């Protein structure tokens, strides 16, 4: 006999009392637990059901970003020394902001030759970034200096300087506000006259924050964005921040076009009149006109 069985046999009534007390305690705890759960369910927030169901709805097919196919309609020369950080189309010409300290510029480019029609250089301590056109004023960001510049569209004369809180990456204009990216998963809306923040838009793809948002272009009610260090361009619904679809442009720069110095895909411009989309990359020798198929 073990010591335990000796003890069991020697005190049967004591053990029975202990067991019944334990059963009562468990029953009591279960009852308390049920009451607490029921009261929580009754007094919970109205959106509790929504919150609980959101993980499954995030993964549903209709909310997942769709990959679009595309075709290259044409390609044009691009200065392979241009570290493209901002690109836009206006009235038959491309406008480009380039980066790197000591090499940052604002340019107007003849289309389709790519010849430089007008150019100014930024101070050598500045790193040029996003570029937008708002009411005949070109607006250019810089990367980390929090300095933005406003130029006359025709003469490139500097009209104004402004500051902003974030880093400057991409920039576009939706006919009402400027939209800034800073490499995070947020887009920042600024008043185009005062440059004060209006709104912050959190961008998600398949239910998760999408970081590294870079060059931007407002196209037919959507914000298109390069994703830094990828071949992806995403289409963002500005009312929700959700990426509805994306393009994968991997391989668009043919091996025969490569100089060996190319950096990443960056630069989106839209010719609204002819519904043409132009894309390029940093130090790329070509600009591509693409057509997406929905």
Binding residues (CB under 5 A) for Ca ion: these are 87-88, 217, 268
Residue, CB closest to Ca ion:
217
Could you tell me if 217 and 268 are in contact, meaning their C-beta atoms sit under 8 angstroms apart? yes
Q: Which is nearer to Ca ion, 85 or 184 (CB)?
A: 85
Could you tell me if 105 and 121 are in contact, meaning their C-beta atoms sit under 8 angstroms apart? yes
Q: Which is nearer to Ca ion, 234 or 268 (CB)?
A: 268
Measured from the CB of residue 177, what is the shortest distance to Ca ion in angstroms? 15
Q: Which is nearer to Ca ion, 87 or 205 (CB)?
A: 87
Measured from the CB of residue 169, what is the shortest distance to Ca ion in angstroms? 11
Measured from the CB of residue 217, what is the shortest distance to Ca ion in angstroms? 4
Could you tell me if 182 and 167 are in contact, meaning their C-beta atoms sit under 8 angstroms apart? yes
Q: Which is nearer to Ca ion, 175 or 256 (CB)?
A: 175
Q: Which residues of 168-203 are buried (b: 16+ CB within 10 A; e: fewer)?
A: bbbbbbbeebbbbbbbbbbbbbbebeebeeeeebeb
Q: Which is nearer to Ca ion, 4 or 274 (CB)?
A: 274
Cross-sheet strand order for the sheet of 158-163: 128-134, 137-142, 147-152, 158-163
Measured from the CB of residue 41, what is the shortest distance to Ca ion in angstroms? 50
Q: Which is nearer to Ca ion, 172 or 186 (CB)?
A: 172
Measured from the CB of residue 187, what is the shortest distance to Ca ion in angstroms? 13
Measured from the CB of residue 226, what is the shortest distance to Ca ion in angstroms? 9
């Amino acid at each position: 006999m073990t010591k335990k069985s000796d003890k069991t046999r020697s005190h049967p009534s004591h053990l029975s009392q202990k067991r019944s007390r334990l059963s009562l305690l468990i029953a009591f705890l279960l009852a308390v637990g049920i009451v607490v759960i029921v009261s929580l369910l009754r007094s919970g927030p109205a959106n509790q059901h929504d919150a609980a169901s959101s993980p499954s709805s995030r993964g549903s097919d209709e909310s997942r970003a769709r990959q679009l196919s595309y075709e290259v309609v044409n390609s044009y020369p691009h200065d392979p020394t241009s570290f493209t950080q901002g690109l836009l189309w206006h009235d038959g010409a491309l406008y480009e902001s380039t980066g790197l300290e000591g090499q940052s510029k604002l340019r107007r480019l003849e289309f389709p030759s790519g010849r430089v029609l007008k150019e100014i250089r930024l101070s050598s301590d500045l790193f040029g970034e996003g570029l937008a056109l708002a009411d005949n004023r070109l607006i250019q960001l810089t990367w980390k200096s929090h300095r933005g510049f406003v130029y006359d569209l025709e003469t490139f004369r500097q009209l104004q300087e402004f500051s902003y809180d974030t880093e400057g990456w991409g920039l576009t204009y939706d006919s009402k506000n400027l939209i800034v990216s800073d490499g995070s998963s947020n887009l920042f809306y600024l008043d185009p006259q005062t440059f004060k923040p209006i709104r912050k838009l959190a961008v998600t793809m398949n239910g998760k924050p999408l970081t590294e948002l870079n060059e931007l272009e407002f196209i037919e009610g959507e914000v298109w964005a390069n994703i830094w260090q990828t071949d992806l361009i995403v289409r963002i619904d500005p009312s929700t921040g959700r990426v509805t679809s994306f393009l994968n442009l991997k391989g668009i720069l043919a091996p025969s076009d490569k100089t060996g110095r190319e950096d990443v895909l960056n630069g989106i411009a839209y010719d609204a009149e002819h519904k043409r989309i132009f894309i390029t990359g940093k130090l790329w020798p070509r600009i591509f006109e693409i057509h997406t198929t929905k």
